[in-house]
Amino acid sequence: MGARWAATFASRPAAAGAPDLRVTLDLVDSVPPAPPAEPHFRQGDLLAYYLDGADNVVAHFPRYGQVRLNLSAGSSEGELTEAALAAHGVFEDLLAISLSPHLRRRGLFLLHAFAACPPEGGGAALIVGDIGAGKTTTGLALLHAGWKLLSNDSPMLAEAAGDINVLAYPGLLSAYPDTLARFPELSPIKSAPSVREKVLFAAEAVYPNVWAEAAPAGGILFPQIEPRPEHALEPLPPAEALRLILPHAIEQWDRALIPAHLALLNRLVQAAPAYRLRLAADTSRLPGVIAAGLHHNGHAPREA
């Protein structure tokens, strides 16, 4: 597990000074038992939350592990099984669940999105979508064109001087073999033959100096794959953009921070144009189409 942790955070510089947030995860043979009470919030059979007062939360993955958060102390500790490392995205979800409530209390709000910004400066593109919507292919098309990466899956949003900034959040990239084959620089990445599952790899191993530290929010894109000859951006009103983005941002159990989270998301959709990105097959045209729709305000991205 230590190697996976190190690979996930390899893009981030070592922190100076004493940490004010601590996460400890142990690898165990079996999932610890859930608390005896009924959960306060449940996400199907994958995840359940148990609240004990205002500061103590248990996030229980029946198949993969458990994390116990102390919000006042800024600490998370838990256990996960080998299955959590083997199943795609579970380790990353456990990390996000361990970190995101603490980050919210520090003014940093995670969004489930791919985030990248043009190398010459300007706003960051936030690509938001469910599995199969084309989010990964769109994001890789931007990196292929030389864009800077802010996050594969969970950029942080923060308000600064009235603007909404997109801050880098570390993590490995992942894509299906047929997606990797679209981009020559990614085709050498090995995957198991005849198995359709996502392959993990470090962005910086393929694209040198790819990471940016921060960029202002430039646009929100909701991709949708369609049988069409050309890509198209369909503008969305702020209210519709907010409706579409909420399931990818709000954790319903964290009631104390929902008002602040909603207020920040509302400022985001008011400040950054939102679009339905209707995807065609030719990925080479995507960067130009997306760049044309971004709100450019003259700020260059800060490199990591």
**Residue 182 maps to which CATH number?**
3.40.50.300
User: What number of residues does the chain have?
Assistant: 304
Picking from 91-105, 158-172, 179-193, 258-272, which range would have the lowest pLDDT averaged per residue? 179-193
- Contact status, residue 43 vs residue 63, Cβ threshold 8 Å: no
| pLDDT score recorded for residue 301 | 43
- Contact status, residue 295 vs residue 273, Cβ threshold 8 Å: yes
91, 127: one domain: no
124, 270: one domain: yes
User: Going along the chain, which residue ranges are E strands?
Assistant: 22-27, 41-43, 47-52, 56-61, 65-70, 75-80, 109-110, 114-117, 124-127, 148-151, 156-160, 163-167, 173-175, 199-201, 212-225, 232-236, 274-279, 302-303
- 275 bridge partner residues: 221, 235
pLDDT tens-place string over residues 243-259: 999 999 999 999 999 99
Q: Is the pLDDT reported for residue 265 higher than 70?
A: yes
74, 122: one domain: no
User: Going along 152-195, which residue ranges are E strands?
Assistant: 156-160, 163-167, 173-175
| pLDDT score recorded for residue 191 | 67
pLDDT tens-place string over residues 130-151: 888 999 999 999 999 999 999 9
- Contact status, residue 225 vs residue 279, Cβ threshold 8 Å: yes
129, 230: one domain: yes
Q: Is 211 strand, coil or helix?
A: strand
CA-to-CA separations, 94 to 36, 47, 122, in angstroms, rounded: 21, 10, 32
85, 216: one domain: no
| pLDDT score recorded for residue 298 | 45
191, 80: one domain: no
69, 124: one domain: no
pLDDT tens-place string over residues 74-129: 999 999 999 999 888 899 999 999 999 999 999 999 999 999 999 887 899 999 99
Last residue of one domain, picked from the residues 52, 73, 104: 104
- Contact status, residue 281 vs residue 174, Cβ threshold 8 Å: no
Share of the chain above pLDDT 90, in %: 77
Q: Is the pLDDT reported for residue 220 higher than 90?
A: yes
- Sorting pLDDT into bands at 50, 70 and 90, what band is 195? low
146, 31: one domain: no
| pLDDT score recorded for residue 117 | 96
- Sorting pLDDT into bands at 50, 70 and 90, what band is 304? low
- Sorting pLDDT into bands at 50, 70 and 90, what band is 296? low
Number of compact structural domains in the chain: 2
User: Residue 73: what residue type?
Assistant: A
Picking from 42-46, 122-126, 158-162, 171-175, which range would have the lowest pLDDT averaged per residue? 158-162
134, 269: one domain: yes
Q: Which of 94, 231, 106, 230 is nearest to 171 (CA)?
A: 94
- Say what the pTM is: 0.93
User: Going along 176-211, which residue ranges are E strands?
Assistant: 199-201
Q: To the nearest whole number, what is the mean pLDDT of the chain?
A: 91
116, 28: one domain: no
| pLDDT score recorded for residue 193 | 59
Share of the chain above pLDDT 70, in %: 95
157, 249: one domain: yes
Tell me what the mean pLDDT of segment 188-196 comes to: 69
Tell me what the mean pLDDT of segment 189-210 comes to: 83
Distance CA 163, CA 40 (A): 35
Last residue of one domain, picked from the residues 57, 80, 104: 104
- Contact status, residue 157 vs residue 217, Cβ threshold 8 Å: yes
Structure tokens at 156: 């942080």
Q: Which of 180, 167, 38 is nearest to 99 (CA)?
A: 167
- 127 bridge partner residues: 114, 221
Distance CA 179, CA 142 (A): 13
Which residue range is the domain that position 39 belongs to?
2-104
